Amino acid sequence: MAFYKVIACEIALREICQVAARSRSLLDLEFVTQGLHDTPSTGGTEIQRRIDAVPEGRYDAILLGYGLCGNLIRGLRARRIPLVLPRAHDCITFFLGSRERYQHRLEANPGTYYYTSGWLECLRRRGAKDMPMGAGFLPTRADGQGDREALLAKWSEKYGEEEARYLLETMDDWSRHYSHGALIDFDFSKPLQLERQVRGICASRGWQFEAVEGDLGLLQRWVDGEWSEQEFLVLRPDAEVVPAYDGTVVTAREGSAPPPPPEGKSEA
């Protein structure tokens, strides 16, 4: 029986736990707080630190539960253990089951924002009880001047005025890009009644709602060790992740890697 270490974003906690329960592999699961892709340089450093902390000789491979995610995983290195990751631009591919299905939906349904249980739960899981569930992962609607001033004041206090103005302009542009909200749902998540919640979000933003059936096939093959070259990148020790621009999303660059930092320390 293969023994794999899983390091994944908490956004896919429910889905990964579901496939883990059905897997023939032995799995050691580690979930990382959502949001590392917001700052790819420091986020990538945190993921590399966790990779480096995996003890040698215990696992057959490390399964990395991240997509390219704005180049978050660019430059990550397999150290002493092979590193296996899906060829995916982001986690929506995980939930739809394949790059092909995601690409088809992008072409057929442009302007769609996708929701899953993880996208709706991450803030609450981190203890942000004073915010509506999912509020941090929604386009900011700032139609009125009062709304804009309130957002600007809130973000200026947290990030500084210059950064706050930039964020507000970016979120305005981002929000205008979307016209549909789609819930990717599974049989095991239906008791959560997410559809009612996402329908409400869409109504408040003037979006059309769509329910999409999720597919765990890609994640199941990942944890089961069925790693076709088309769907997965397998990095051998001392190779690093490099973005690819030929449809494969990511590729490996072989080369002499710097030694891992001493135990308990991360790279600068």
Residue 141 has pLDDT above 50, yes or no: no
Query: Per mean pLDDT, which range of 48-57, 74-83, 170-179, 195-204 is the poorest?
Result: 170-179
Tens digit of each residue's pLDDT (9 = 90 or more) over 102-111: 999 999 988 9
Tens digit of each residue's pLDDT (9 = 90 or more) over 58-104: 999 999 999 998 889 999 999 999 999 999 999 999 999 999 999 99
Tens digit of each residue's pLDDT (9 = 90 or more) over 212-232: 999 999 999 999 999 999 999
What is the CA angle 215-218-222, rounded to 5?
Answer: 140
Structure tokens at 223: 């944890």
Residue 206 lies in a domain: yes
Residue 152 has pLDDT above 90, yes or no: no
Between 166 and 141, residue with greater pLDDT: 166
User: Can you tell me the mean pLDDT for 156-163?
Assistant: 80
pTM, two decimals, is 0.81
For residue 77, the cross-strand partners are 240
Between 205 and 190, residue with greater pLDDT: 190
What is the CA angle 123-163-204, rounded to 5?
Answer: 45
> Does 130 share its domain with 183?
yes
Between 246 and 143, residue with greater pLDDT: 246
- Residue 131 banded pLDDT, cuts 50, 70, 90: very low
User: Can you tell me the mean pLDDT for 23-51?
Assistant: 90
Residue 264 lies in a domain: no
User: Can you tell me the mean pLDDT for 13-26?
Assistant: 97
> Does 43 share its domain with 81?
yes
Tens digit of each residue's pLDDT (9 = 90 or more) over 117-128: 999 988 677 665
What does the pLDDT read at residue 154?
Answer: 79
> Does 127 share its domain with 38?
no
> Does 25 share its domain with 83?
yes
User: Can you tell me the mean pLDDT for 11-32?
Assistant: 97
Residue 267 has pLDDT above 50, yes or no: no
Residue 15 has pLDDT above 60, yes or no: yes
Residue 268 lies in a domain: no
Q: What's the mean pLDDT when you consider all of the chain?
A: 85
> Does 86 share its domain with 112?
no
**Cα–Cα distance list, 121 to 24, 56, 58, 64, 135 (Å):** 28, 34, 32, 21, 10
**Domain total of the chain:** 3
Give me the domain span that covers residue 227.
3-93+217-253
Residue 54 lies in a domain: yes
Residue 233 lies in a domain: yes
Residue 267 lies in a domain: no
Annotate 149-210 with three-state secondary structure. Answer: HHHHHHHHHHHCHHHHHHHHHHHHHHHHHCCEEEEEECHHHHHHCHHHHHHHHHHHHCCEEE
> Does 8 share its domain with 62?
yes
Residue 205 has pLDDT above 60, yes or no: yes
- Residue 261 banded pLDDT, cuts 50, 70, 90: low
